[in-house]
């Protein structure tokens, strides 16, 4: 069964450093997302991406964050200058419009990257 993959599974970095989290979405999916889950808190939407541009971003997704689809298979999240409060599990998800209802889809999640900022 196709699945979303993410690397690395755990990333440790120093405050102020740049990190790039990698995701390979399901191959025929067209919509891509990043979510994060701070320890003990709910999963929060960060950004959605379609047709090589951001569709929507949350207020969390400030200028320190960027996303890119550098080739036909990868989808990356870059944090330019990490802060302590960026420590969280970051989930990538992808979807196709599989419901038959306009714009409604099922999102499939990867296993996550645990980011620890020291």
Partner 1 sequence: AQSVTQPDIHITVSEGASLELRCNYSYGATPYLFWYVQSPGQGLQLLLKYFSGDTLVQGIKGFEAEFKRSQSSFNLRKPSVHWSDAAEYFCAVGVYGGATNKLIFGTGTLLAVQP
CA atoms within 13 A on the CB side of 66: 11
Establish if 105 lies at the interface with partner 1 (CB under 8 A). yes
Establish if 112 lies at the interface with partner 1 (CB under 8 A). yes
CA dist 91 and 114 (Å) reads: 9
Closest CB to partner 1 among 4 and 77? 4
Establish if 4 lies at the interface with partner 1 (CB under 8 A). yes
Angstrom distances, CA of residue 10 to CA of 27, 58, 114: 24, 24, 5
Q: Which residues bind partner 1 (CB under 8 A)?
A: 4, 6, 31, 33, 35, 41-45, 48, 50, 55-56, 91, 93, 95, 99, 101, 103-112
């Amino acid at each position: 069964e196709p699945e979303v993959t993410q690397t690395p599974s755990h990333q440790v970095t120093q405050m102020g450093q740049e990190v790039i989290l990698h995701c390979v979405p399901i191959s025929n999916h067209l919509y891509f997302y990043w979510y994060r889950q701070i320890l003990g808190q709910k999963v929060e939407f960060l950004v959605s991406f379609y047709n090589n541009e951001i569709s929507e971003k949350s207020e969390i997704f400030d200028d320190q964050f960027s996303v890119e689809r550098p080739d036909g298979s990868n989808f990356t999240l870059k944090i330019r200058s990490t802060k302590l409060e960026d420590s969280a599990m970051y989930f990538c998800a992808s979807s196709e419009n599989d419901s038959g209802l306009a714009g409604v889809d099922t999102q499939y999640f990867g296993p996550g990257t645990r980011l620890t900022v020291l």
